[in-house]
Amino acid sequence: MLSEYDVVACRRCRAPIWWAVTAAKHRQAVNAVPVDAEPDPAGRLALYRDDTGRLRVRTLTKERAELEHAEVRGMAHAATCGRPTAPVAVAEPEPEAAASAGRLVPDYIVDIPIRWHR
């Protein structure tokens, strides 16, 4: 079951997000929705809590396209996060950026604590 207590705000666009963990142990930002709201039907992620309460995520694939067990549909935040209106020219990546290039989560998605707005 999803929870509203671990919702954080994307530092870039302020949208509420959850952090979930993929099978490969990567962190992935997922658009948070109130627990009683309908999930985004366009979402291609399946969310569930594992035995330790950690929010896990998998991508709905052609082979496993349906939600299973207690999974809830979710939308990757990177798919909807506000983007720059003008192209950003990047000459050379910073060493830190290069080191994180393989990460699933863009650097601009940073979690900060928020309270859910009702």
Q: Does 33 bind Zn ion (CB under 5 A)?
A: no
Alpha-carbon distance of 109 to 77, in angstroms, equals 9
Contacts of residue 30, defined as CB under 8 A and 6 or more positions apart, other chains included, come to 17, 18, 19, 20, 45, 47, 55, 57, 74, 75, 76, 77
Q: Under the criterion CB under 5 A, does residue 81 sit at the interface with Zn ion?
A: yes
- Comparing CB distances to Zn ion, the nearer of 81 and 104 is 81
Interface with Zn ion, residue 79, by CB under 5 A = no
Q: Does position 12 bind Zn ion by CB under 5 A?
A: yes
CB of 80 to Zn ion, least distance (A): 7
User: Of 4, 6, 13, 39, which one interacts with Zn ion (CB under 5 A)?
Assistant: 13
Q: For the beta carbon of residue 79, count every other beta carbon within 10 angstroms.
A: 14
Task: Count Cα neighbours of 20 within 13 Å in the Cβ-side half-sphere.
Answer: 31
Q: Which of 7, 10, 30, 57 binds Zn ion (CB under 5 A)?
A: 10
Which residues are registered as beta bridge partners of 56?
21, 48
Stretch of 5-13, 20-28, 50-58, 95-103 contacting Zn ion, by CB under 5 A: 5-13
* Using rule CB under 5 A, residue 60 touches Zn ion: no
105 touches Zn ion by CB under 5 A = no
